[in-house]
Structure 1
Amino acid sequence: MKYLHILLFLVVSKGLSAQSGNSLTLRDCIEYALQNNITIRQSEAAVENSDNVLNQSKAQRLPAITGFLSGNGNTGRNVDPFTNGIVTQTIGTNNMGIGLNMPVFQGNRLKNAVERDKLSLEASLTDVQTQKNNIGLQVAVAYLNVLSAEDLIEVAQKQLEVTRLQYDRTQKLVEGGALPETNLYDLDAQKANDELSLINAENSRESAFLALKRTMNAPLEMMFSVVKSEVPDPEVLQPATSSAAVYQTALGFLPEIKAGRIRMNAADRNIAIARSLGYPTVSLSTNWGTAYSSVARRAAGMTSSSRQIPISAEFQGQTIPLVINWPESSYTMENIPYFNQLGNNQNLSFGMSVNIPIFNRFNVKYQTQSAEIQKKQVDLQNKATEIQVKQNIDQAYIDMLNARKKYAATLTQAQALNKAFIAAEKRYNAGAGTFVDYNLAKTNLDRANTNLIIAKYDYIFRTKVLDFYQNKPLEF
Structure 2
Amino acid sequence: MKKTIFILLLSTVSLYAQDHKWTLRACVDYALENNISIKQSEMDLKTSEINKKDAIGNFLPSLNASASHSWSIGLDQITSPSGPITVTSKSRNLSGGISSSLDLYKGQRNLHQLHRSNLQILADQYKLDNMKDDISLFVANSFLQILFNKEQLKVLKSQLEITKQDLKRTQELVDAGSLPKGDVLEIQATLATQEQQIVDSENALLISKIELAQTLLIEDYEHFDIVDLNYDVPLTNILKESPSTIIEKAKETRYEVKIAETNTKIAEDNLKIAKGALQPTLTGSYSFSSNYFTSGLFDTPDFETQISDNKRHNISLRLNIPIFNGFSLRNDVKRNKVNLERAKTQQEQANLDLETKVYQAYNDARGALKAYEAAQKTLSAREEAFSYSKERYNVGLLNAFDYGQSQNRYEAAQSDVIRTKYDYIFKLKVLEFYFGIPITELN
Scaled to the shorter chain, the TM-score interval is: 0.7 to 0.9
Query: Does residue 212 of structure 1 match 2:177?
Result: no
Distance (Å, rounded) in 2 between the aligned partners of 1:181 and 1:337? 127
- 1:195-210 residue pairs with structure 2 within 5 A? 195-210=195-210
CA shift, 1:116, in A, is 0.3
Deviates more, 1:201-210 or 1:44-53: 44-53
CA shift, 1:176, in A, is 5.0
Residue 349 of structure 1: aligned partner: 314
Instruction: From the superposition, tell whether residues 22 and 424 of structure 1 become closer, same or farther in structure 2 (CA, over 3 Å).
Output: same
Residue 312 of structure 1: aligned partner: none
Query: Does residue 368 of structure 1 match 2:333?
Result: yes
Quote the sequence identity (%).
27
Amino acid at match of 2:373: A
Amino acid at match of 1:261: E
- 1:382-461 residue pairs with structure 2 within 5 A? 382-461=347-426
Per-residue CA distance 1:66-93 (angstroms, 9 max, x = gap): 1111233444679xxxxxxxx9955332
Instruction: From the superposition, tell whether residues 430 and 224 of structure 1 become closer, same or farther in structure 2 (CA, over 3 Å).
Output: same
Distance (Å, rounded) in 1 between the aligned partners of 2:225 and 2:322? 70
Amino acid at match of 1:423: Y
Instruction: From the superposition, tell whether residues 236 and 428 of structure 1 become closer, same or farther in structure 2 (CA, over 3 Å).
Output: farther
Q: Secondary structure at the match of 2:99?
A: strand
CA shift, 1:177, in A, is 4.8
Residue 345 of structure 2: aligned partner: 380
CA shift, 1:236, in A, is 6.8
- 1:117-136 residue pairs with structure 2 within 5 A? 117-136=117-136
Distance (Å, rounded) in 1 between the aligned partners of 2:403 and 2:121? 67
CA shift, 1:219, in A, is 1.6
Instruction: From the superposition, tell whether residues 472 and 48 of structure 1 become closer, same or farther in structure 2 (CA, over 3 Å).
Output: closer
Deviates more, 1:191-200 or 1:229-238: 229-238
CA shift, 1:164, in A, is 2.1
Q: Which has the higher helix share?
A: 2
Residue 167 of structure 1: aligned partner: 167
Amino acid at match of 1:274: A
Distance (Å, rounded) in 1 between the aligned partners of 2:305 and 2:24? 77
Q: Is the 8 A contact 2:246 2:358 kept in 1?
A: yes
Q: Is the 8 A contact 2:34 2:217 kept in 1?
A: yes
Q: Secondary structure at the match of 1:239?
A: helix
Amino acid at match of 1:455: T
Q: Is the 8 A contact 2:293 2:300 kept in 1?
A: no
Structure 2: 5+ residue stretches without partners: 1-16, 78-86
CA shift, 1:168, in A, is 3.4
Residue 41 of structure 2: aligned partner: 43
Deviates more, 1:125-134 or 1:237-246: 237-246
CA shift, 1:389, in A, is 1.8
- 1:1-400 residue pairs with structure 2 within 5 A? 21-74=19-72, 75=74, 89-174=89-174, 176-219=176-219, 221=221, 223-233=223-233, 239-295=239-295, 334-400=299-365
Distance (Å, rounded) in 2 between the aligned partners of 1:289 and 1:236? 77
Structure 1: 5+ residue stretches without partners: 1-18, 79-86, 298-332
Deviates more, 1:250-259 or 1:126-135: 126-135
Amino acid at match of 1:161: E
Q: Is the 8 A contact 1:240 1:246 kept in 2?
A: no
Q: Is the 8 A contact 2:257 2:350 kept in 1?
A: yes
Distance (Å, rounded) in 2 between the aligned partners of 1:116 and 1:244? 33
Instruction: From the superposition, tell whether residues 76 and 137 of structure 1 become closer, same or farther in structure 2 (CA, over 3 Å).
Output: farther
Q: Is the 8 A contact 1:234 1:456 kept in 2?
A: no
Amino acid at match of 2:349: A
Per-residue CA distance 1:30-73 (angstroms, 9 max, x = gap): 23323332222221221122122111111111110111112334
Q: How many residues align?
A: 416
Q: Is the 8 A contact 1:96 1:291 kept in 2?
A: yes
Q: Cα RMSD (Å) of the superposition?
A: 2.8
Distance (Å, rounded) in 2 between the aligned partners of 1:129 and 1:65? 40
CA shift, 1:289, in A, is 0.8
CA shift, 1:286, in A, is 1.7
Instruction: From the superposition, tell whether residues 236 and 191 of structure 1 become closer, same or farther in structure 2 (CA, over 3 Å).
Output: farther
Q: Is the 8 A contact 1:240 1:466 kept in 2?
A: no
Q: Which has the higher strand share?
A: 1
Q: Secondary structure at the match of 1:24?
A: coil
CA shift, 1:470, in A, is 2.0
Distance (Å, rounded) in 2 between the aligned partners of 1:183 and 1:132? 57
Per-residue CA distance 1:443-464 (angstroms, 9 max, x = gap): 0000111111111111222222
Q: Secondary structure at the match of 1:225?
A: coil
Distance (Å, rounded) in 1 between the aligned partners of 2:136 and 2:437? 19
Per-residue CA distance 1:364-423 (angstroms, 9 max, x = gap): 432222211111111122222222222222222232233223222222211111111000
Q: Is the 8 A contact 1:135 1:215 kept in 2?
A: no
Q: Structure 2 length normalisation: TM-score?
A: 0.85
